[in-house]
């Protein structure tokens, strides 16, 4: 079998001004993401660690280090907590970049629930390193990206809700992100520079836009299967059950299409 990727790239030119990403069916029968870059492509699994590896038998290095911490605490509850050294942080940083490539690809593919899953995962990574890294420089290497990933998480959660007209739920997701960024600014004593934070400005503009759309929206219809499903969707988003949220959203669309078809058949 040839190892030359020229044939794979034929007809798929790299375009520096736009992100080129697609989903393909792998030789193992599973869907995979391919991201075009200037000298080739990146291929990623849709679930688990993007490169498909299982370090030390765990889904990710983050899961491995969490396990080590739990074992250490259980074995010596009175000892000082486990810390992450430079090598540990380097592993976690490389892994976090893999998830970054994947959630950005998922965003462009409009696979919002999976994008929300991966952004939530990297936010948990930042919190873990913040709590356990030995060196403040290592902590900042991760945490400097917290406002950006918080914004991307809000986009992934709130965008499909906005598309469904679920403005309260979407605004709730945006408010949570705004609070998260303010927490970040307070932690680093940077609240006086809030006006310089582009992520915060974008979230506040988006919230204002949604409040305007909500004010113009028609009043809610009486209770119906669609309304009940919408409430289930909102709860799933609140609890970060993003794959369940995707199922509820698809079911809402199906019910809406059925209702529209029934209306068209009426004399």
CB 213 within 8 A of CB 175: no
> Per residue in 61-103, pLDDT tens?
999 999 999 998 888 877 777 899 999 999 999 999 999 999 9
**DSSP letter (8 states) at residue 111:** -
Q: Per residue in 104-120, is it b (16+ CB within 10 Å) or e — as a string?
A: bbbbeeebbbbbbbbbb
Per the rule left: phi > 0, alpha: psi between -120 and 50, beta: everything else, 53 is beta
CB 197 within 8 A of CB 226: no
Task: Compute the mean pLDDT over every residue in the chain, rounded to the nearest whole number.
Answer: 91
CB 148 within 8 A of CB 99: no
Count CB atoms within 10 A of the CB of residue 169: 24
> Per residue in 216-249, pLDDT tens?
886 655 567 888 888 888 888 877 888 888 888 8
Residue 114's beta-bridge partner residues? none
Residue 45's beta-bridge partner residues? 32
Q: Is the pLDDT of residue 184 over 80?
A: yes
pLDDT band at 178, cuts 50/70/90? Answer: very high
């Amino acid at each position: 079998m040839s190892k030359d990727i020229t044939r794979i790239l034929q007809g798929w030119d790299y375009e520096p001004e736009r992100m080129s990403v697609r989903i393909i069916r792998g030789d193992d029968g599973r869907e995979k993401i391919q991201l075009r870059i200037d000298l080739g492509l990146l291929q990623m699994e849709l679930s688990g660690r993007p490169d498909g590896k299982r370090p030390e038998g765990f889904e990710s290095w983050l899961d491995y280090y969490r396990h080590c911490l739990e074992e250490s605490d259980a074995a010596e509850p009175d000892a000082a907590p486990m810390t992450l050294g430079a090598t540990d942080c380097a592993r976690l940083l490389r892994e976090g970049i893999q998830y970054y490539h994947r959630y950005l690809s998922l965003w462009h593919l409009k696979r919002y629930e999976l994008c929300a899953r991966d952004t939530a995962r990297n936010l948990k990574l930042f919190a873990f390193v913040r709590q356990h890294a030995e060196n403040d420089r290592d902590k900042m290497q991760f945490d400097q990206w917290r406002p950006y990933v918080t914004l991307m998480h809000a986009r992934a959660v709130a965008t499909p809700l906005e598309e469904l007209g679920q403005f309260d739920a979407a605004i709730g997701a945006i408010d949570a992100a705004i609070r998260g960024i303010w927490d970040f600014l307070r932690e680093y004593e940077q609240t006086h520079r809030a006006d310089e934070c582009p992520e915060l400005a974008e979230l506040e503009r988006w919230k204002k836009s949604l409040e305007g759309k909500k004010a113009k929206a028609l009043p809610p219809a009486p209770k119906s299967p669609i309304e009940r499903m919408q409430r289930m969707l909102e709860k799933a988003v609140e609890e970060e059950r993003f794959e369940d949220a995707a199922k509820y959203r698809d079911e809402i669309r199906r019910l809406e299409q059925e209702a529209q078809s029934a209306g068209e058949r009426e004399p």
